[in-house]
Structure 1
Amino acid sequence: MTTLHTMGQQHSRRSWAEPYKIKVVEPLRTTTREERDRAIAEAGWNTFLLHSRDVYIDLLTDSGTSAMSDRQWAGMMLGDEAYAGSVNFYRLEETVQKYYGYKHLVPTHQGRGAENLLSQAAITPGDHVPGNMYFTTTRFHQEKAGATFHDVIIDEAHDTASLHPFKGNIDLDKLQALIDEVGADKIPYVCMAATVNMAGGQPISMENARAVRELTDRHGIKVYLDATRAVENAYFIIEREAGYADKPLAEVLAEFCSYSDGATMSGKKDHLVNIGGWFATNDDELFEEVRNLVVVYEGLHTYGGMAGRDMEAMAIGVEESLDMPYMRSRIGQIQYLGELLERWDIPFVKPVGGHAIFLDARAFYPHLDQEQFPAQTLAANLYADSGIRSMERGIVSAGRDPETGEHRHPKLELTRLTIPRRVYTQAHLDLVAESVKACFDAHDSATGLRLVYEPKYLRFFQARFEPLP
């Protein structure tokens, strides 16, 4: 028996196993501490710049790192690589319409391609876009198109210890205040992410999504969903919200999406593929503009930067993501890692969300100022300890204010341990937990980092650091 802690409550459950068996394996390379110290130094203490061959357990991201199923690999052989009118596009379009409910679909090479198309088509310079906490590429595209981003997430999302079950919720009072301040005509859409990555993979409730829809309808404002992990969000609604415990994932997802006018999607997450995304909308006029823009930025409107085989694998992945035993095991792995860390009082964002454990780097290194990059420091130290690759989600990811040039100082300074789908076993997660504990036990010796190279855009991908003396 194992013990599961959920939202401050404790109950017992039977052990579970992943609902799949391993058919193909990829050998992992182990390294010495000396090799890892050299590798992280050569990477400028930025885990994005490590060579993957030097990584033992790769928890950098869940984007495009999933293991595809036998059905998906078989579907790849059905790829219709016609430049125009690929049969796989129509299969994907039909699948998204069936499960997500949107009228029009435009494929893209990945999620940020869809974000760019929506921003270019819907935003006029001087607009304001409210959202439930920023995401790096999403905000970049919005700002690049001339908008100002406004965080309207509930306050509990900024508190790592809060046990609010839906910390991704939009604060309706904050949203209304922004509408009153700038006017509804200056808000092209509300950007509603499900789940909220930067808050720790925290979900939105169905009640909140419905209330946001009602508020925006009164003002004639559109709602566009970041649906990247909307299936995971649907799982949390089933698990945590009254009235949904016995409903199938597909039904919950369909209702959730019905409170929006369209969505951007990175298929590299919920859809269990290595590349691809899409933009969907119910708006005929906006669809026409995006379908024209995709030819400029991505590819023809029936492939949008994806091969036919990738679209086929994605269509199959949509269906597989809605299998309840799979999703239960998917979230169960993150909960399992959270249980291990909680036994040792390791500070992380609670309750456990979807796709990752987010370590609270401020609590790890209380002696480090935020401008000494505690989350980046923790990611580097975890790699040096065991070869585990994680990533920073704090001041480095937040970037600089475009007006002042000063660092943005987010309330959350987190190091993300992201679990790829259908890739690692619980034994891998045991090792991860032990490495986190080793770093926590040695937290007093951490000295922090300083920036030595900073790219112009999305600096967390390519920035380089060096240890402070």
Structure 2
Amino acid sequence: MTHLTPMTMGQQFGRRSWAEPWKIKMVEPIRLLDRAGRERAIAEAGYNTFLLRSEDVYIDLLTDSGTNAMSDRQWAGMMLGDEAYAGSRNFYHLEAAVQKHYGYKYLVPTHQGRGAEHLISKALIKPGDVIPGNMYFTTTRLHQELAGGTFVDVIIDEAHDPANLHPFKGNVDLGKLEDLIKRVGPEKIPYVSLAGTVNMAGGQPVSMANVKALRSLCDRYGVRIYLDATRLAENAWFIQQREEGYRDKPIAAIVKEFCSYTDGAWMSAKKDHLANIGGWLAMNHEDLYETARNLVVIYEGLHTYGGMAGRDMEALAIGIEEALQDDYMSARIGQVHYLGELLSDWNIPIVKPVGGHAVFLDAKAIYAHIPQDRFPAQTLAAQLYLDSGIRSMERGVVSAGRDPVTGEHRYPKLELVRLTIPRRVYTQAHMDVVAEAVKAVYDEREKVRGLRMVYEPKYLRFFQARFEPL
């Protein structure tokens, strides 16, 4: 079986265009505010793109979480919602889809991914525990800290270098992990927190060889592995394209094999599952299942709906099937890479290789004259909106937050702006507009001076912090 991707088609046939494996049935109007309107909107938002009104945004690349376009089959499934408080048939459809494609025995639904993060942290982490992982994610780490744990980054060093071309920059450094286990003891490690495609590193994948080796290492010390499967289907595409022995395997088979080396997973179904809301926690160990099944009733809802309506669970069950189709995934990642190639052609600094769900601008390189405590990535996101009404997201010092012990800013090596592509929403023409806007901002980079923070919430400050220009 040969998979023709946007990249391989060009190699095989010369210059041949490719198209998405769907056609448009309904449209949503968008508008571009004039410059004065954009200046007013970003000032009212405190130069934080999260605080912009969506009606004031032209092309919205803030996130791919819940912003996807659902298919006609998913919308039809919504009409089959069984809204019984207990025992909804849609829960059993979702459970069967997760068991079939991810391979886990037990399923606990949640309203979205952070609900699942909360449950697993509450169930497994004790004060003083250490949770190793392949780079932090904002909400995941906060839930781990609130449960009394400490996150420790054990990703390979290449992940912290935007220009490094390692094909699997999401890999766990097994030497770092083993050193940590020996230092603190396996009894202090409730689980390894493994992300399939590492968001904060630029959407970088984990290889199958790495997760196999990780399983072997953890088995030697009796440590469990739990997976953030939010974008695992995209991770599987990279394994298919880059790892020896997987070129002829379908994405669905790769996903199931990857999961087989882990003990369970949490999922923000607002990403890979092509829906607007939803999540789940799945596992093979009955002890965690019993605890999570009890906790979900307290924090989310009954164990057969977990904060979702029946119609939402049906949309997820159908979305799982659609997301694992090879032609869809090639088009989805192909669009992301198309934008990355446009920016690379203009020598605009981005994280390379381009990841699966977004193009990440290297704000530290673009605004080399702006120190990190003046928030270069936050500044770049604001400037991009001012130029073209395009909304993006900061992924740097603001997202990293403060050290809970010292109270000082955490200064990550990566200071990035994420251009996140919602699934099945925008066209190639939108990507052209985005690329030209980034170039326009890049060309004016020396005129920009940075921001100061004037309001900071206690938790996850990137969502609600406010700034003003220096």
User: Does the pair score TM above 0.5?
Assistant: yes
For residue 125 of structure 2, the aligned residue among 123, 126, 134 is: 123
**Which amino acid in 1 is paired with 2:48?**
N
What is the distance in 1 between the residues matched to 2:82 and 2:249?
Answer: 36
Q: 1:408 aligned to 2:407?
A: no
1:14 shift after superposition: 2.5
What is the distance in 2 between the residues matched to 1:139 and 1:454?
Answer: 18
Counterpart position of 1:435:
437
Counterpart position of 1:231:
233
**Which amino acid in 1 is paired with 2:316?**
M
State the SS of the aligned residue for 2:409. Answer: coil
Counterpart position of 1:338:
340
Counterpart position of 1:41:
43
1:12 shift after superposition: 5.4
Normalised to the residue count of structure 1, the TM-score between the two structures is 0.98
Counterpart position of 1:355:
357
Counterpart position of 2:271:
269
Counterpart position of 1:160:
162
State the SS of the aligned residue for 2:225. Answer: strand
Cα pair 2:159 2:170 within 8 Å, conserved = yes
1:15 shift after superposition: 1.6
Cα pair 1:4 1:13 within 8 Å, conserved = no
For residue 84 of structure 1, the aligned residue among 73, 86, 92 is: 86
Cα pair 1:373 1:396 within 8 Å, conserved = yes
* 1:33-182 equivalence runs, <5 A: 33-182=35-184
The one-character-per-residue Cα deviations of 1:323-381 (angstroms, maximum 9, x if unpaired) are 11100000000110011001100000000111000000011100000000000000000
Counterpart position of 2:318:
316
What is the distance in 1 between the residues matched to 2:315 and 2:286?
Answer: 27
Cα pair 2:6 2:331 within 8 Å, conserved = no
For residue 303 of structure 1, the aligned residue among 263, 285, 305 is: 305
**Which amino acid in 2 is paired with 1:168?**
G
**Which amino acid in 2 is paired with 1:404?**
T
For residue 193 of structure 2, the aligned residue among 159, 183, 191 is: 191
Gaps of 5+ in 2: none
State the SS of the aligned residue for 1:210. Answer: helix
For residue 206 of structure 2, the aligned residue among 187, 204, 210 is: 204
1:138 shift after superposition: 0.1
State the SS of the aligned residue for 1:263. Answer: strand
State the SS of the aligned residue for 2:155. Answer: coil
Q: 1:390 aligned to 2:392?
A: yes
What is the distance in 1 between the residues matched to 2:438 and 2:447?
Answer: 15
State the SS of the aligned residue for 1:465. Answer: strand
What is the distance in 2 between the residues matched to 1:452 and 1:410?
Answer: 21
Counterpart position of 1:32:
34
What is the distance in 1 between the residues matched to 2:276 and 2:89?
Answer: 20
Report the count of equivalent residues: 464
1:460 shift after superposition: 0.1
What is the distance in 2 between the residues matched to 1:379 and 1:11?
Answer: 38
What is the distance in 2 between the residues matched to 1:460 and 1:344?
Answer: 29
**Which amino acid in 2 is paired with 1:26?**
E
**Which amino acid in 2 is paired with 1:91?**
H
Cα pair 1:376 1:392 within 8 Å, conserved = yes
State the SS of the aligned residue for 1:279. Answer: strand
1:4 shift after superposition: 7.9
1:148 shift after superposition: 0.5
Q: In structure 2, do the counterparts of structure 1 residues 5 and 20 end up closer, same or farther at CA, with 3 Å as the change threshold?
A: closer
What is the distance in 1 between the residues matched to 2:95 and 2:12?
Answer: 43
Cα pair 2:6 2:18 within 8 Å, conserved = no
**Which amino acid in 1 is paired with 2:343?**
L
Cα pair 2:274 2:319 within 8 Å, conserved = yes
Q: 1:372 aligned to 2:374?
A: yes
Counterpart position of 2:252:
250
State the SS of the aligned residue for 1:450. Answer: strand
Cα pair 1:5 1:11 within 8 Å, conserved = no
> Runs of 4 or more off by more than 4 Å in structure 1?
3-6, 9-13
What is the distance in 2 between the residues matched to 1:67 and 1:23?
Answer: 11
1:13 shift after superposition: 5.6
What is the distance in 2 between the residues matched to 1:12 and 1:228?
Answer: 35
State the SS of the aligned residue for 2:273. Answer: coil
Q: In structure 2, do the counterparts of structure 1 residues 103 and 388 end up closer, same or farther at CA, with 3 Å as the change threshold?
A: same
State the SS of the aligned residue for 1:341. Answer: helix
What is the distance in 1 between the residues matched to 2:417 and 2:192?
Answer: 27
What is the distance in 2 between the residues matched to 1:302 and 1:5?
Answer: 42
What is the distance in 1 between the residues matched to 2:264 and 2:15?
Answer: 38
State the SS of the aligned residue for 2:187. Answer: helix
Counterpart position of 1:452:
454
For residue 420 of structure 1, the aligned residue among 415, 419, 422 is: 422
**Which amino acid in 1 is paired with 2:299?**
Y
1:29 shift after superposition: 1.4
The one-character-per-residue Cα deviations of 1:76-133 (angstroms, maximum 9, x if unpaired) are 0000000000000000000100000000000000000000000000011100000000
Gaps of 5+ in 1: none
What is the distance in 1 between the residues matched to 2:190 and 2:321?
Answer: 32
What is the distance in 1 between the residues matched to 2:374 and 2:161?
Answer: 21
Cα pair 1:4 1:11 within 8 Å, conserved = no
Cα pair 1:266 1:277 within 8 Å, conserved = yes
State the SS of the aligned residue for 2:294. Answer: helix
Q: In structure 2, do the counterparts of structure 1 residues 214 and 60 end up closer, same or farther at CA, with 3 Å as the change threshold?
A: same
1:30 shift after superposition: 1.6
What is the distance in 1 between the residues matched to 2:108 and 2:276?
Answer: 18
What is the distance in 2 between the residues matched to 1:190 and 1:69?
Answer: 35
Identity in percent: 73
The one-character-per-residue Cα deviations of 1:186-212 (angstroms, maximum 9, x if unpaired) are 000000001100000000000000000
The one-character-per-residue Cα deviations of 1:366-423 (angstroms, maximum 9, x if unpaired) are 0000000000000000000000000100000000000000000000000000000000
